[in-house]
Amino acid sequence: MHFKRGFNRRILGKMKPDYIFICFDSCRYDTFKEADAPNMKAVGRLRRAHSFSCFTPASILGYMMNFSPIGLDMGRLYPYRKWAWLPTEMKKDGYSTAFLTANAAIPMMDLSLGGILSKTFDLHEVLKYEGQTSVEAIVEDSVDFLEMNEPVFLFLLLMETHAPMFDGRKAKIPYPIQRPSSVSAFQKRAVEFIDEKLEPLFSSLREREPPSDVIITSDHGELLGPMKWCHNPSDLTILKRSMIEYSEALFEIPFIKGRIT
pLDDT tens-digit map of 109-166: 999 999 999 999 999 999 899 877 899 999 999 999 999 999 999 999 999 999 899 9
Which residues span the domain enclosing 30? 14-260
Q: What is the pLDDT of residue 239?
A: 59
Contacts of 43 (CB under 8 A, 6+ apart): 214, 216, 256, 257, 258, 259, 260
> Per the domain annotation, does 61 fall within a domain?
yes
Model confidence at 241, pLDDT cuts 50, 70, 90, reads low
Let me know if residue 5 belongs to a domain: no
CA distance 200 to 127: 23
d(C-alpha 75, C-alpha 54), whole Å? 20
Indicate the pLDDT class of residue 4, thresholds 50, 70 and 90: very low
Whether 3 maps to a domain, the answer reads no
Provide the number of structural domains found in the chain.
Answer: 1
123 within domain boundaries: yes
Does residue 9 lie in a domain region? no
Q: Is residue 208 part of a domain?
A: yes
pLDDT band of 3, cuts 50, 70, 90: very low
pLDDT per residue as tens digits for the range 183-235:
999 999 999 999 999 999 999 999 999 999 999 999 999 998 777 777 877 66
Q: Is residue 170 part of a domain?
A: yes
pLDDT score recorded for residue 56: 93
CATH number of the domain residue 64 falls in:
3.40.720.10
